[in-house]
Structures are given as structure tokens and as C-alpha cells.
Amino acid sequence: MDILSLFIIIPLLTITGIILVKDIRNVKKVAAIGMGIQLILAAVLIFLYVAERKGGNISEMLFIKDIVWFKSLNIHYAVGVDGISVAMIALTSIVVFAGIFASWEVELLTKEFFISLILLATGVFGFFISIDLFTLFLFYELAVIPMYLLIGIWGSGPKEYSAMKLTLMLMGASALLLVGILGIYMHSAPSGNQLTFNILEIKQYVIPITAQRTFFPFTFVGFGVLGALFPFHTWSPDGHSSAPTAVSMLHAGVLMKLGGYGAFRVAIYLMPEAAKELSWIFLILTSISVVYGAFGAIAQKDLKYINAYSSVSHCGLVLFAILMMNKTAMNGAVIQMISHGLMTALFFALIGMIYGRTHTRLINEMGGLMKVIPFLSVCYVIAGLASLGLPGLSGFVAEMTIFVGAFQHPDLFHRVVTIVAITSIVITAVYILRVIAILLLGPVTNPKYENFRDARWYEKTSVIALILPVAAIGMAPFWLSSTISSSMQPIIDKIMAINLF
């Protein structure tokens, strides 16, 4: 058994376990144990990966497993990881682990809830280990479908509307994506040769430029919708605000990262010429995303809406950096994905915990929480500081890498969009500090708050599991950055090979 397939098998076993459990109260324990094992497995994977690289293995993907699945179309079940996927897998297992503990208090249909949640996670894990476009797409779909149920059943507010909207928009995106992927497949080899879905095989061949021009927009927009590309981001505020806590965490934390990951692993890696030609359109859109999302967040009143818009801004920065198509910026994009995944999951976890106490998410109805629930409030402040890019926390590392990388383009257009994107650091500070001031500081506004109990053990577990990596990346970014950057090299080589810049 290869280690990568375990990342799919363990969640499936956990689901089986949950189905078999008799006592409904034990469901969450089984889920926690399963995802705990997954977390340990992620740590083992990191260790094995580093050991392998130290041992001098320089192949692009490690731990490759390739099984023919459907011969006539040359579809394989093919998995393999590089440093970037390992980092994303680690991110996913942390967020899922924290998500399980954040949903400790789910009462309604507990079993079904955890089954759907872990099924979603399975899809995400599968996506990150795939090196075959077909399997990749399959897992992508697997991750999107449970989302509909999770929001539609366990959500709040206009949950049916939000669930429908989110699913339809993401389905629309996957339709575009399917066209893009099939387009790549059709041009994946010189005529007469065996066509392939395998990324490693496709990248050795240059897809004809006309085909690239056609299929790059499909692929990029398809992934971009998931990464909250303006103007296709509107599923995000509604979806996040209606979703239950753990789903918001997973969704903003990892699902939105599928977009960014796919955008460079598939769209840019395989079609760099078209990416170069068309990047200006998307750079404009993403720099709008960055600033627009931040300004949108200032005017919101609902905590989840604030965070949803904040995610639009931060994920916009991911796509922005990817489109810069140089090593430093793309490196920063990956760090930003990880950083944003962790801190936004932290935000949503805390919002869920605060909501569980105050039963409102409107900031104007709350105030002075710092005095009554200091632990959660301090964690919220830490999440906020990470989000506004304070040195010592992960957001700073990501943003600075992106900005320095983006600034390496000496032409005026890239300069202007970069400076537009940089202004977001001020706007972000405005909305983050606004929320902290209204929500946490000041006098306690409601006498009932005095009876609140601060975080319980499972809430602490969830929150600390997310804060630790945020601080670790922020203080010692070198390891992560160098791992990602060496794995980014093949992609950069491919871009440089066609001599674009």
C-alpha cells in the first residue's frame, strides 16, 4: 500500500466506522480519531518527503502510484506529490482536524453530518495527490457535492438558497473546467500518439498555442470561480454565512485553495504561453478582487460576511500572485494559500464559537467580549493580526513574498496592479481593527454576557491546532518557503523554457 492512497482510504474507513457506530455519541469520537490519524499520517508524509529529498531524489513528484483505470481513454488513477502538495495536504489535515473539534456540539443528524464532512475532506485530499487530470476532476466533484447537503441541511439563515447558489455556481465552474481539461487531453500529444491525462506526461509536450488560447480561459476561470475570482465570487458570502462552522472552515480553508492550486498546477503549468498572453485580463480582475473584497468587508455587519469578503480579497491575492508567473510570486501564492487556509479556518471556528454563545453574528449587537471570554477573544485578535499581515504570523510572510515577487516585473502595467494590490494591507487593517474594536473591546454591552463560559477543551483543541502553525510559519518561514520553492522549479523551468520574459 502506498502512502498517498492512505489519505483516501483512512477517511473512507472513518466513514465506515461512523456508519457502524451504534451509540450516536461516539460518532464524533470516531471522526476525531480518524482525522487524528490522518493528521499523524500527514506528519509522516512530511517526514518521508523531506528524508527522500535529503537522500537526493530530485524527481518532480515522489511516491508515484499509477494504475490504469480505463484503458481505451488512457485514464489512470495516478497519484504523486511534490513539496507543494505535501504542504497542502498538511494544511487540509490540520483544518479537518480542527473542524471536527469545532463541530463537537452538532446535535442534528450527527452521523450524517460527519459522514458528509469527511467525504468532503476525502475529495480534497484526493485532489491534492492527483497527477492525472481525470482523477483530479473526479475528486474535485467529490468535494463539491457534499457541500450542498452540508449547507442545505445543517446551515442557518437562507440555507437552501445559499446551498443552491453555491452548488450551481461551482457546478458551472466545473463545466468550464471539464471543457478545459478535455481540451488539454485532446491536445496532450502530437497527433497519432496516445493521448493522456497525466500532468507529468503532458508537460513534456507543448500544447499548440491556438488550443492553449481556447482552453486556458476555460481552465483558469473554472478554477478561478472556486478561488473567488471577481466577478464570480458571489457564492462565497452567501455560502459562508449559511454554512455550519466546520463547513465554512473547510470551505474557506481548503476548498477555495483547490482553485489556486489547480490554477497553477493545470492552467499555468500546462498552458504557459496562453497564460502569458491573457494574464493581463486576469491580473486586472484579481487586483480588483483584492481591493474590492477588502472594501466590501469594511461595510459588512455580519461576522461571516466580513470574513467571506476578506477571503475574496486574500484568495484574490493568491490568483494575482500565480498570474505574475515568476518563482517568488508563485512561491508566495502557495504560502498565502496555506496561511489564509489556516487563519480563515481559525476565524470561522471562532465565529462559530462566539455565535454559540451570543446567538448573533451581527457585530453591532455584541461588544466587550474580551472581558467575558478572554481566551476566544485573544485568539480572535491573533487571527486578525495574522490576517492584516503582522510580522511573526504567517500572513506577513506570504504577502511580502508575493509583493516582492510581483514587483520584479519592471513594466508599468505590472507595477500599477501590484501597487493596487499592496494598498490592501491598509484596507485590511481597517476592517480587522474595526471588528476587533466593536466586537471585543469596549464595555460589555449585554449583562447576560457575564455568565459566558470561556472556551471548552474541544474548542481550545480546535483553535490551538490552527494557531500553532500560523505562528510557526510566521516565525520560521524558511523551511516552508524553501520546500515550496524547490518544488516550484519545474513549473518555472517550463515557463522559462518558452522564453516568455
Partner 1 sequence: MINFSYSIWLLLIPLMMFFILGLAGHKLGPRLSGLLGTSGLAIITMLSFIIAYSYFFGTPKNGEGFKAIIAYNITWLQLIDNLHIDIGVLLDPISVMMLIVVSTVSFMVHIYSLGYMKGERGYERFFAFLSLFTFSMLGLVVAPNIFQMYIFWELVGISSYLLIGFYYQKPSAVAASKKAFIVTRFADLGFLIGILILSFYTKTFDFITLTDPSGPAIAKTGGATFMGLSVITWSMIFVYMGGVGKSAMFPFHIWLPDAMEGPTPVSALIHAATMVVAGVYLVARLFPVYVMASPQALHIIAYVGAFSSLFAAVIACTQTDIKRVLAYSTMSQIGYMMLALGVSGYGGHNGLGFMASMFHLFTHAMFKALLFLGAGAIIHAVHSNFMTDMGGLRKYLPITHITFLIACLSIAGVPLFAGFFSKDEILAAAFEHNKFLFAVEYAVAGLTAFYMFRLYFSIFWGKETQYHHTPHEAPLTMTIPLIILALGAALTGFIPFNKLVTSDGLPFESHLDWGVAVPSVIIGLLGITVAWAMYSKSSNLPDRVASAFRLGYKWAYNKFYMDELYLFITKKIIFRYISEPVAWFDRHIVDGTMNAIATVTQVTSFRIRKFQSGQIQQYAFVYISGVIFLVILLVYIWR
- C-alpha cell belonging to residue 437: 474594536
Residues 229-258 that bind partner 1 (CB under 8 A): 230-231, 233-234, 237-238
Q: Which of 158, 416, 482, 493 binds partner 1 (CB under 8 A)?
A: 482
What's the CA gap between 378 and 450, in Å, rounded? 17
Q: Tell me if 103 sits within 8 A of 93, measured CB to CB.
A: no
- C-alpha cell belonging to residue 242: 449559511
**At closest approach, how far in Å is the CB of 234 from partner 1?**
4
Give, in degrees to the nearest 5, the angle at Cα 314 between 454 and 223: 120
Q: Which of 5, 26, 360, 408 binds partner 1 (CB under 8 A)?
A: 408
Tell me if 59 contacts partner 1 by CB under 8 A. no
Tell me if 397 contacts partner 1 by CB under 8 A. yes
Q: Which of 328, 336, 358, 462 binds partner 1 (CB under 8 A)?
A: 328
Q: Which of 3, 48, 179, 429 binds partner 1 (CB under 8 A)?
A: 429
Q: Tell me if 317 sits within 8 A of 421, measured CB to CB.
A: yes
Q: Which of 227, 368, 395, 469 binds partner 1 (CB under 8 A)?
A: 368
Q: Which of 298, 420, 464, 500 binds partner 1 (CB under 8 A)?
A: 298
- In terms of Cα–Cα distance, which of 180, 169, 181 is closest to 227? 169
Q: Tell me if 301 sits within 8 A of 364, measured CB to CB.
A: yes
Tell me if 400 contacts partner 1 by CB under 8 A. yes
Reduced to 3 states (helix: H, G, I; strand: E, B; else coil), residue 132 is strand
Q: Which of 77, 139, 282, 292 binds partner 1 (CB under 8 A)?
A: 292
- Cα dist from 381 to 69, 225, 349, 368, 392, whole Å: 49, 30, 13, 13, 14
Q: Which of 63, 355, 407, 452 binds partner 1 (CB under 8 A)?
A: 407
Tell me if 425 contacts partner 1 by CB under 8 A. yes
Tell me if 410 contacts partner 1 by CB under 8 A. yes
- In terms of Cα–Cα distance, which of 219, 208, 109 is closest to 154? 109
**At closest approach, how far in Å is the CB of 469 from partner 1?**
16
Element housing 77 (H / E): strand 75-81
Cα dihedral across residues 163, 169, 171, 177: positive or negative: negative
The interface region with partner 1, picked from 29-37, 78-86, 133-141, 389-397 by CB under 8 A, is 389-397
Tell me if 472 contacts partner 1 by CB under 8 A. no
Q: Tell me if 4 sits within 8 A of 101, measured CB to CB.
A: no
**Could you identify the residue written with the cell 471577481?**
230
Q: Which residues bind partner 1 (CB under 8 A)?
A: 165, 168-169, 230-231, 233-234, 237-238, 292, 295-296, 298-300, 309, 327-328, 368, 370-371, 385, 388-392, 396-397, 400-401, 403-405, 407-408, 410, 418-419, 422-423, 425-426, 429-430, 433-434, 437, 440-444, 477-478, 481-482, 485
